[in-house]
Chain A
Amino acid sequence: MSTIGYDSWAVDLAEVGAVYPFQGSEGLMVVLGVVFWIAWHRIQFVREGAHLEKAKQMGDKDKINSLLEKY
């Protein structure tokens, strides 16, 4: 039994379509993919929020002034 649905390539290609593993689970794969994508945004939003909060406290006025001068 093969995950791609073929045990041999001795086939007529005119009759071959999809060859990826776990055919029939495309809906589930899309769900997993979308979860990965949405989770990425969530993690990134939270991380960036925490980072900006920390960064707010870091700036020394003189150093910021010199940065502004630098353009």
Chain B
Amino acid sequence: MDGNLNALTTVFTEFYYWVTVVFMFLIHVGFCMYEVGASRHRNHMHTLMKNIMIIPLVTVTFFFFGWWIYWAFPNFPFFGGLNHEAAAANLPWSQNMATNLSDRITGVFWAAFLLFSWTAASIVSGAVIERIRSSALWVHAVMIGSVFWIIDAAWGWHAEGWMVKYLGYHDAYASGVIHAIAGGYALGVIMVLGPRLGKFAADGTPRDIPPHNPWMLTIGIFLIYSGFWGFYAACNIPVISPEGIGGLLTGDTWTATNIYLAPTSLSAITFNFLMSLSGGLMAAYVVSKGDAFWTFSGGLAGIITASAGNDLYHPIQAMLVGAVGVVIVYKLHYWVERRFKLDDAVGAVAVHGYSGIVGLILAGFLLWGAPSSPYEGYATVNPVGQTIGAVIMFGVLGWLPGFLIAKMQAAAGVLRIPVEVELQGLDYAEHHAYEEAKAEIIAADKAALNGGSVPAE
């Protein structure tokens, strides 16, 4: 850092990302609460542990190879080789990936992406509760969190990604990059995994399996909203000079940029985050006829639908995009459930996957002709590019690997828990150990009360 202005900008950027990461942690707290609230008592601890262990597993693998993929893969394999030069600084043995006073940004920027990785894995985790083996889910978590989502980020969320360059792909706050891929991946897994026992009646009619704790579920989704707001800020670069981005802008006005280095502001995305949340909540209330959980999820789906273009929409456009998306997503969820007998326990495929697809396609029309990036020669935003992008995110990088890996796990007999265990509940063994320990302590206390032996003081 040569000069105080550079030092100030660097330290501000470092602090900015650090704050966003802490806010984004709330997303994971929210997912844990939501999943536990949605599961039945007998599967409580299993559900919680399944989601908690995503944190260390995705973190270490993202350190070992996930972060390297982001820097190496923007044009690999279709439009060039691996970018070894950019990726070298992000290898796990690089001095940038450690305590280093000449690089204050890599750690916090890495962490911001890592929190997105946890989110991608956690979205899948919600769809498969009460019947997947933890070991199987944790392999999926590593695959989507540290491999597939970060490939999609390199392709469609890197300033030099080939999808941005050639398709004009624009997905500023990750309708597709996080949500469509995670929804698609979850769909691939639940197609192989099958529904929870009792989800469908003998004639195929789906049954509602109500959450055991509505309070926990509600607080969970509100924490997800809070973390998502932090996520929006994390998708921006807070302050940068035209010179700092290679003179891509003319003049000398400094600005915040989105992930593609195109100018934006926290003010713009704050308007649009809150208006799309509102449009989603209002539309979901109406379309679900006042169902509380779909209304809350609809708020999330509204934001996700508008996210692709929320750096550029007018707030009323963001609200209406959020509302339209939620209606489509809600109808599609129930159609798929009835038609294909799929059990998506928390509506993750719909809220994240279908919303992501709808959001990408709508952005293609609404932002038609807008520059996707400040780099010269890049394609502009267009409906065809956005639709192809949606297929790549949901289908190619999401659904396909989720389906194939789940198929391999099923063939090896390591995907689903045994029926006997599903019936007694995944917490049965722990519950019994607890009851036995409790009974023993109570018996000892009673013996002491009745004049039996007491421990030495």
Tell me, in angstroms, the Cα distance from A36 to B322 when the chains sit together.
Answer: 12
Interface residues of B in 244-264 (CB under 8 A from A): 248-253, 255, 262-263
A40 CB–B CB distance under 8 Å = yes
CA separation between A9 and B369, bound complex, in Å? Answer: 12
Residues of B within 8 A of A21 (CB): 312-314, 317, 366-367, 370
Binds A, one of B192-200, B281-289, B423-431, B444-452: B281-289
Q: Which of A25-67 contact B (CB under 8 A)?
A: 26, 29-30, 32-33, 36-37, 40, 43-44, 47-48, 51
**Which of A3, A40, A43, A44 has a CB less than 8 Å from the CB of B366?**
A3
Bound together, the chains give a CA A7 to CA B371 distance in angstroms of 6
Chain A, Cβ-Cβ closest to B242 = A13
- Is A68 located at the chain interface by the 8 A CB criterion? no
- Asked whether, in the complex, the Cβ of B368 is within 8 Å of the Cβ of A2, the reply is yes
With A13-B263, A14-B253 as contacts: A29 and B368 at CB distance below 8 Å: no
Residues of chain A with a CB closer than 8 A to B242's CB: 13
Interface set of B (CB-CB < 8 Å, partner A): 242, 248-253, 255, 262-263, 279, 282, 285-286, 289-290, 312-314, 316-317, 319-320, 323, 366-371, 373-374, 376, 380
Listed from nearest, the 3 A-B pairs whose CB atoms lie closest are: A12-B251, A2-B369, A9-B374
Given contacts A4-B312, A9-B371, A11-B250, contact A36 B263 (CB under 8 A): no
Interface magnitude class on chain A: 20 to 34
Q: Is the CB of B282 within 8 A of A40?
A: yes
Rounded to whole Å, the gap between the CB of B360 and the closest CB of chain A is 16
Known: A21-B317, A33-B320, A43-B286. A10 touches B368 (CB 8 A): no
* Chain A residues with CB below 8 A from B373, complex form: 9
Distance between B241 CB and nearest chain A CB, rounded to angstroms? 11
- Whether A19 pairs with B312 at a CB distance below 8 angstroms is yes
- CA separation between A22 and B143, bound complex, in Å? 41
Cα A10 to Cα B46 with chains together (Å):
53
Whether the pair B314, A29 counts as a contact (CB closer than 8 A) is yes
